Structure 1
Amino acid sequence: MKVTVPTLVAALLLTAGSGLAQTAHTHGAHKPTANEASDAHQADMQKMMADMMPKPGDAPSTKDFKDADMAMMHNMHVPYTGNADVDFRTHMIPHHQGAISMAKVALKHARDPATKQMAQKIIDDQEKEIAEMQAWLKQHGQ
């Protein structure tokens, strides 16, 4: 599924909560409250998402890496089940797929043979691990 950047950003901003513009400031011995820590985390997430947004001057490889990052972030939004064995796999699969997408960008744009070799190894390894995780999930009725 191809996710548009505006759709993903809108979804992430909606789920981030209303405190996005607030940041926690710590001075001296002040320990941040849970709300301040949450607000700081939300502000960090907002900055991360802004950094992933394509910019007019981005190099083609940067645009492709940002697209891969945004898709991975979208696909990693998987509900938790409370079963650590299942949750580990269902969250690692899109993470590994993101690594494959990034490695494909490297294969497309990188010049160094060692980078291309590493990218291909990542694709091969991650595809094998995804297949193993999917098989485990199927075997366990997931």
Structure 2
Amino acid sequence: MNKLLRFPRLALLLLGATLTLGTSSCSKDDDNNGLNTIGHDESVYMRNMHESMAMMEAMPKTGDPDNDYSSMMIIHHQSAIKNSQEELKSGKSAEMKAMAQSIITKQEAEIRQFQAFLAGHPPRLPAVPEFGALQMMNMMQMQKAVDLRPLTGDPDFDFAQLMVDHHQGAVGNSEALLKFGRENATRALAQQIITDQKMEIKMLQDFLLANKKY
């Protein structure tokens, strides 16, 4: 009787040990996966994006969709320009450096347009709180996406990865403006940003696929 009771217990212990060893082996392989990564705090690109996100969260909101869109897109564009300048300094890919220069040229011009709009357009009533909620939801989704990215330390690859998420945030914000905005000037800017940045997202994704690391 005792032998019969001991055997199942021993078998269960051995089975548990085998499963534990198997799980440990899989976890080690999954964690490593042949990919060298760096901590997010080590990436100047990521630090720039976190700084930008903090500024957007702290930005005073007027409740006027066109004004709040313009103010937030200025901050958002400044982040893209800083990361593009870093890519010009640190990157090695001619393709990504050309992309970075194009982003700087386009978005500096758009910042001037947003600033001119704000200078001649005081906030107007009625407020549209739905726009503000959607705008911040888009930015939080962008931040979550970049925080989930495994960064490689390769400036070209990481620039492309994070700029995809950054552009998708701008597209989401611009689509929200088309839904709630009341001014032709900002609506035209929003549509142009959607068109340009969707095209750039595809180019960035094509680069990532051609140079994939995981």
Which of 154, 175, 190 is the aligned partner of 1:83? 154
AA matched with 1:136: F
**Correspondence list, 1:12-27, <5 A:** none
Which residue of 1 is the match for residue 212 of structure 2?
A: 141
AA matched with 2:146: M
Shift of the 102–49 alpha-carbon distance from structure 1 to 2, 3 Å rule, reads closer
Aligned residues: 95
Which of 83, 97, 103 is the aligned partner of 2:168? 97
Which residue of 1 is the match for residue 136 of structure 2?
A: 66
CA distance in 2, matches of 1:101, 1:116: 13
CA distance in 1, matches of 2:132, 2:176: 9
**What is the CA distance between 1:58 and its match in structure 2?**
7.5
Q: Share of identical aligned residues, percent?
A: 34
CA shift digits 1:93-130 (9 cap, x unpaired): 00000000000111011100111110010000010000
AA matched with 1:67: M
Please state if 1:110 is matched with 2:181: yes
CA distance in 2, matches of 1:88, 1:48: 21
TM-score (norm 1): 0.59
Unpaired runs of 5+ residues, structure 1, are: 1-43
CA distance in 2, matches of 1:96, 1:50: 18
Shift of the 141–48 alpha-carbon distance from structure 1 to 2, 3 Å rule, reads closer
**What is the CA distance between 1:141 and its match in structure 2?**
3.0
AA matched with 2:204: M
Q: If each structure's helix is expressed as a fraction of its own residues, which one has the higher value? A: 2
Which residue of 2 is the match for residue 123 of structure 1?
A: 194
AA matched with 1:107: L
**What is the CA distance between 1:80 and its match in structure 2?**
1.1
TM-score (norm 2): 0.40
Larger Rg: 2
CA shift digits 1:7-37 (9 cap, x unpaired): xxxxxxxxxxxxxxxxxxxxxxxxxxxxxxx
Q: Which has the higher contact order (CA 8 A, sep 6+)?
A: 2
AA matched with 2:205: Q
Which residue of 1 is the match for residue 38 of structure 2?
A: none
CA distance in 2, matches of 1:141, 1:80: 12
